[in-house]
Amino acid sequence: MNHASAPIRVLVAKPGLDGHDRGAKVVAAALRDAGMEVIYTGLRQTPEMIVRTALEEDVDAIGLSIHSGAHMVLFRKVLAMLREEGMDDVLLTGGGIIPEDDARTLAEEGVGRLFGPGAPLSDLVKYIREEVEARRKASEMKES
């Protein structure tokens, strides 16, 4: 199957109770302008809602925006639920106020790169595009 030309679908969500959704909106608009189909679900999403949406929308990637300090719990929970559903091929990435050490620990556990304040949007776009293309290619190889 040729997936290469299909638009990249990304879920942008804000888990937890912090109300700072400016970053998520800026990111959603940047991904849209990069030609991606962005499913934007807004504030106060639970990990269950996020994984259910990702499943129904068959997204290539999930970007979580977290400013509450609960990133360790939330990323781990979403990652575990994705694995439970067999959705290992979905890229889980995101950003917010996340200390480097924490980002490194999460990366070791299977979370993608996390972007802090001031990270250029073009880096994020490039990262998602390259990572999704690599994953699509890998799944095609498996198929043939």
Partner 1 sequence: MTLSAADLRDRVLAGDRRAVARAITVLERGGDDGAALHALLYPHAGRALRLGVTGPPGAGKSTLVDRLARELHGDFSRLAVLAVDPSSPVTHGALLGDRIRMGALQELPGVFVRSMASRGLLGGLGPAALEVMDGLDAAGFDLVLVETVGVGQSELDVAFAADITLVVVAPGAGDGIQALKAGLLEMADIVCVNKSDLGGAETVRNDLMAAFELSSARSEKAPAILLASSKTGEGVGALAASVRELAGDEDFRIRFGERRRRAAQRRIVGGLQREAGHAAERVLESDPVLVTSVVDGLMTPRAASHEVFRRILKGETS
Cα–Cα distance for residue pair 95/92, rounded to 1 Å: 11
Task: Write the DSSP string, 29-78.
Answer: HHHHHTT-EEEEEEEEE-HHHHHHHHHHHT-SEEEEEE-SS-HHHHHHHH
Interaction of residue 28 with partner 1, rule CB under 8 A: yes
Which amino acid belongs to residue 44? R
Closer of 58 and 101 to partner 1 (Cβ): 58
Closer of 104 and 137 to partner 1 (Cβ): 137
Interaction of residue 135 with partner 1, rule CB under 8 A: no
Task: Write the DSSP string, 71-132.
Answer: HHHHHHHHHHHHHHTT-TTSEEEEEES--HHHHHHHHHHT---EE-TT--HHHHHHHHHHHH
Binding residues for partner 1, total number by CB under 8 A: 35
Q: Name the segment binding partner 1 (CB under 8 A); options: 69-77, 86-94, 101-109, 110-118.
A: 86-94
Closer of 28 and 74 to partner 1 (Cβ): 28
Query: Which member of 26, 83, 119, 139 binds partner 1 (CB under 8 A)?
Result: 139
The DSSP secondary-structure symbol of 21 reads -
Q: Name the segment binding partner 1 (CB under 8 A); options: 79-87, 96-104, 116-124, 126-134.
A: 79-87
Residues near partner 1, by CB under 8 A? 1-3, 6-7, 9, 28-29, 31-42, 49, 52-53, 55-58, 85-87, 89, 139-140, 142-143
